[in-house]
Amino acid sequence: MHYIEHTSTLLELLAFSNISEGTLAATNVSSYMCHVVTYVLIVTGDFGRYQCFQFLLHLLGAMTAGMHMLSLVTVAAVPEHRCRIPGLDGNDSFGDWNSSKISLYIPKKDDGFDSCNIWSNATNTSQSCTSWVYDKTYFQTSRAVEWDFVCSRRWMGAASQSIYMFGVFTGAVLLGTLADK
C-alpha cells in the first residue's frame, strides 16, 4: 500500500458517523480508537529489526544489572573468622586456622571456636576481639575481610547493602522518569 492509501484508510476510521449534538458516546470513541490502534499496528508491522535491536539492548542492560546484583554474594561474603592472637598470628589477615595452640586462647562453642571472643589471661574471662584473622579457603578477600565487618560490626555490612539497594531503587525511579521525558 502507498502512503496515500494508508492515510485515506486512517481518515475513514477516524470519520465518526454517530455524532449526535456534537458529542460522542464513550463506547463509540473507544471502539473507533481500538480500530485506529489496530490499523496503526498493522501498518507499522510486527516484530522487526528495530524491535529486535531494542530488545537486545534492554536484554544487555538487564544482564549486566543482574550480574552486578549477584556480585554482592562474593564481594560481601563473610568467611570463617576468629580473634587475632597476639604473638601467634602475624600482621596479615590470614593466620593459622587449625593450630592446636588456638584452643588455649579462643573459647570453645558447641560448633567449634568462638569467632568473636578471646580469653583474657589477666582475668581468665572472655572478652571481645578488636582484630580478626580469616579463613582463606574459599575467599582470598572480601569487603568483610578488608573492613572487618564481623561480630559487633556485622551490621555495617548489612547497612551498606541496604544503602546500595536504596540507591538502585532511587536511581530506577528518578532515571526511569527522566528517560520517559
Clarify whether residues 160 and 88 are in a common domain: no
In a domain, 132, yes or no: yes
> What is the Cα 64 distance to its own chain's centre?
10
Residue 30's domain spans which residues? 1-16+25-45
Clarify whether residues 132 and 91 are in a common domain: yes
Pinpoint the alpha helices (H) of the chain: 3-14, 26-44, 49-70, 72-75, 102-105, 143-147, 154-179
In a domain, 55, yes or no: no
In a domain, 85, yes or no: yes
pLDDT of residue 22: 47
In a domain, 58, yes or no: no
pLDDT tens profile 25-53: 555 667 777 778 788 777 777 778 888 89
Contact 144, 76 (CB under 8 A): yes
Average pLDDT in the chain = 76
Q: Three-class SS of residue 107?
A: coil
- Indicate the pTM of the whole model: 0.55
Instruction: Kindly report the backbone phi and psi dihedral angles of residue 33, in degrees, each rounded to the nearest multiple of 5, phi listed first.
Output: -65, -35
pLDDT tens profile 104-137: 778 878 777 788 888 877 677 778 888 888 888 8
In a domain, 90, yes or no: yes
pLDDT tens profile 10-31: 555 555 444 444 444 555 667 7
More confident position, 41 or 57: 57
Our CA angle for 111, 115, 121, nearest 5°, is 110
Clarify whether residues 158 and 69 are in a common domain: yes
CA distances from 137 to 81, 83, 94, 134, 146 (A): 11, 17, 10, 9, 16
Clarify whether residues 107 and 126 are in a common domain: yes
Clarify whether residues 72 and 112 are in a common domain: no
Q: Which DSSP symbol is given to 159?
A: H
Total domains present in the chain:
3
Extract the C-alpha cell encoding 5: 492509501
CA distances from 149 to 65, 71, 130, 173 (A): 25, 17, 12, 30
In a domain, 51, yes or no: no
- Of residues 134, 135, 130, 110, the one with CA closest to residue 118: 130
Clarify whether residues 131 and 146 are in a common domain: no
